[in-house]
């Protein structure tokens, strides 16, 4: 039996690990609100405004957004929801500082039941998957940059969540269906 409390889930993993796919499956299966940082940034980049053009250039260069900007995007979406509505925050708290600050926000907005799914795939598998999926921002130079960034910056967040007992490690190198089954099993 899964928890009666609304789920608040942050999926973590290398680019190409299937975080977005699993987030959509979980959102649909449990009626969770899916907030995707990547989708929010790509939508913002389509606006012909100063911030839209800056966002478009940042995505084009394969750079990450300033901590405050990414955080503002997440919090702006989270505060629109009633705490009884479970949420999947896809693309969040990848830096240690973000993870710690987001913990404070989740407490303030009455979302204490946070689980972090770490969908674990190797760097080689991530590279292969990203180059195959063909998104505009998935070019070798940008992909390598993102994978380097993950190793340097996201791993401390993974360790932080593991230390606080909220990390659920998932083998991401299986079929989409088997990854989902493992997630459901471990969320029980």
If you average pLDDT over residues 142-156, what whole number do you get?
90
CA distance 180 to 71: 27
Q: How is residue 50 written in tokens? A: 């100063």
Say what the pLDDT of residue 56 is: 94
Q: How is residue 150 written in tokens? A: 């993950």
Tens digit of each residue's pLDDT (9 = 90 or more) over 70-119: 888 899 999 999 988 999 999 888 889 999 999 999 999 999 889 999 99
Q: What residue ranges do the domains of the chain occupy?
A: 8-187
Asked if 109 and 78 touch (Cβ cutoff 8 Å), the reply is yes
pLDDT of residue 2 exceeding 60: no
Q: What angle separates helix 67-78 from helix 96-108, to the nearest 10 degrees?
A: 20
- Which 3 state secondary structure label does DSSP give 35? strand
Q: Model-level pTM? A: 0.86
Q: Which fold has domain 8-187?
A: Rossmann fold (3.40.50)
């Amino acid at each position: 039996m899964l928890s009666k409390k609304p789920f608040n889930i942050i999926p973590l993993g290398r680019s190409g690990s299937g975080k977005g796919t699993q987030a959509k499956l979980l959102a649909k299966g449990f009626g969770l609100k899916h907030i995707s940082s990547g989708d929010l940034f790509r939508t913002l980049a389509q606006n012909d405004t100063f911030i839209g053009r800056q966002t478009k250039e940042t995505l084009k260069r394969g750079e990450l957004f300033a901590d405050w900007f990414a955080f503002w995007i997440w919090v702006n979406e989270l505060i629109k929801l009633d705490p009884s509505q479970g949420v999947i925050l896809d693309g969040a708290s990848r830096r240690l500082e973000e993870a710690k600050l987001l913990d404070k926000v989740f407490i303030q907005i009455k979302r204490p039941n946070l689980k972090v799914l770490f969908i674990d795939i190797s760097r080689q598998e991530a590279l292969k998957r990203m180059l195959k999926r063909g998104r505009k921002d998935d070019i070798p130079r940008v992909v390598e940059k993102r994978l380097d960034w993950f190793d340097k910056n996201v791993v401390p967040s993974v360790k932080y969540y593991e230390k606080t007992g909220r990390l659920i490690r998932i083998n991401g190198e299986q079929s989409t269906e088997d990854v989902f089954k493992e997630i459901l099993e471990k969320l029980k």
